[in-house]
C-alpha cells in the first residue's frame, strides 16, 4: 500500500494523512469559531502543543495567526 500511495501522491501514507489533517484544520480555523484546542482534537491531534508545532512547521504561521489572516482576507 505504501508504494501505491507514494506512486500516486509522491508522499508516503503518513505524510498524506498529516497533509489532510492540516488541510482540515485550516478549513476549521477559517470557517468556525472553534478554539485551537478543539480544532486540534477534531483533526486527530490529542496534544494541542504538538498540533501547533506541526501546523506552524507546515504553514509558516501559528493556528491563531492563520485564523487572523483568513478573517482579514
pLDDT of 2 reads 79
Q: List Cα–Cα distances, 8 to 1, 12, 70, in angstroms.
A: 11, 10, 31
pLDDT of 8 reads 80
pLDDT of 4 reads 83
pLDDT of 7 reads 80
Residue 10 burial class via C-beta count within 10 angstroms: exposed 0-12, middle 13-18, buried 19 and up:
exposed
Residues of the chain where predicted confidence (pLDDT) is lower than 70: none
**Helical segments of the chain, H only:** 2-9, 13-31, 36-42, 48-59, 63-72
Amino acid at each position: 500500500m505504501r508504494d501505491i500511495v507514494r506512486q500516486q501522491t509522491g508522499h508516503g501514507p503518513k505524510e498524506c494523512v498529516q497533509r489532510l489533517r492540516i488541510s482540515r484544520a485550516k478549513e476549521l480555523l477559517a470557517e468556525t469559531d472553534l478554539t485551537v484546542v478543539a480544532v486540534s482534537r477534531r483533526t486527530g491531534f490529542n496534544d494541542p502543543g504538538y498540533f501547533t508545532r506541526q501546523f506552524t512547521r507546515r504553514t509558516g504561521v501559528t493556528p491563531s495567526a492563520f485564523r487572523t489572516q483568513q478573517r482579514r482576507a
